[in-house]
């Protein structure tokens, strides 16, 4: 199992937080202006893809080992090109970094990517961490810290929890329900997905980064 990291344009975590996310064996790609975030954090991507219409300076590409420039008039966004680049090189788990505080249509498109066959596992913006969950998961966090849940893909959906202010066992996800700004009642929360898939969203300043090292 190989993990891919994809930097994209838009607001992302600080350089220090990026350093706590990246692992030594990760394969790193930058999509267009995602390179503007990777390089200041001391990360040199193995590949750069995109139409390069938003990168700050094309000269940044001079020292990149693999650069694939796409046509501007295309039916896939640069993020999709980056995901294809990583999955084509054996990555079966992809972490997205950047993409925050941009256009609403771009944000919705990125959320939709969680439902694709080549699924994203985690997405870090400047403010939030968005993570897909299946099966059983245990989360740690400060008591009172917030967390939100949304169903994705096709149902039926079933999600049980232990340790939240509003437990999720009886939520009727099929009616369009979601759990917004739920809270940690204890420092450890257990999530058990019985069916379907979910994404959870947590404020980035509340996270414990040891799980990403």
Task: Give the length of the chain.
Answer: 213
Mean pLDDT, range 184-191, rounded to an integer: 96
* Residue 42: both structure tokens together: 């001391």
Residue found by looking up tokens 């967390």 in the block: 147
Q: What is the 3 state secondary structure string of the chain?
A: CEEEEEECCCECCCHHHHHHHCCCCCEEEEEHHHHHHHHHHCCCCCEEEECCCCCCCHHHHHHCCCEEECCCCCCCCHHHHHHHHHHCCCEEEEEEECCECCCHHHHHHHHHHHHCCCCEEEEECCCEEEEEECCEEEEECCCCCEEEEEEECCCCCEEEEECECCCCCCCCHHHCCCEEEEEECCCEEEEEEEECEEEEEEEHHHCCHHHHC
pLDDT at 119: 76
What is the model's pTM?
0.89
Q: Is the pLDDT confidence value at 55 over 70? A: yes
pLDDT at 115: 82
Nearest Cα to 77, choosing from 44, 34, 39? 34
pLDDT band at 105 (very low <50, low <70, confident <90, very high): confident
Please, what are the domains in the chain? 2-126 (3.40.50.10240), 133-212 (2.60.120.320)
Asked if residue 147 lies in contact with residue 186, where contact means CB atoms within 8 angstroms, the answer is no
How far apart CA 68 and CA 74 sit, in angstroms, is 14
Mean pLDDT, range 92-112, rounded to an integer: 87
Asked if residue 31 lies in contact with residue 79, where contact means CB atoms within 8 angstroms, the answer is yes
How far apart CA 131 and CA 124 sit, in angstroms, is 9
pLDDT tens digit sequence for 116-159:
765 788 999 999 999 999 899 999 999 999 999 999 988 899 99
């Amino acid at each position: 199992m190989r993990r891919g990291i994809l930097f994209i344009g838009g607001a992302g975590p600080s350089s220090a937080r990026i350093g706590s996310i990246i692992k030594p064996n990760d394969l790193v790609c930058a999509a267009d202006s995602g390179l503007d975030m990777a390089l200041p954090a001391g990360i040199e991507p193995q590949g750069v893809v995109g139409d390069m219409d938003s990168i700050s300076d094309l000269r940044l590409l001079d020292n990149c080992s693999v650069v694939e420039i796409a046509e501007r008039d295309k039916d896939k966004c640069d993020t999709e090109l980056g995901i294809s680049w990583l999955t084509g090189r054996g990555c079966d788990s992809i972490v997205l970094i950047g993409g925050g505080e941009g256009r609403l249509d771009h944000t919705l498109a990125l959320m939709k990517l969680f439902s694709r066959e080549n699924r994203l596992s985690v997405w870090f913006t400047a403010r939030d961490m968005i993570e897909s969950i299946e099966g059983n998961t245990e989360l740690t966090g400060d008591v009172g810290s917030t967390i939100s849940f949304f169903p994705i893909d096709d149902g039926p959906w079933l999600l049980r929890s232990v340790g939240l202010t509003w437990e999720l066992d009886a939520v009727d996800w099929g009616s369009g329900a979601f759990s917004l700004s739920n809270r940690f009642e204890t420092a450890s929360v257990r999530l058990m997905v019985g069916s379907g898939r979910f994404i959870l969203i947590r404020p980035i300043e509340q996270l414990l980064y040891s799980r990403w090292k």
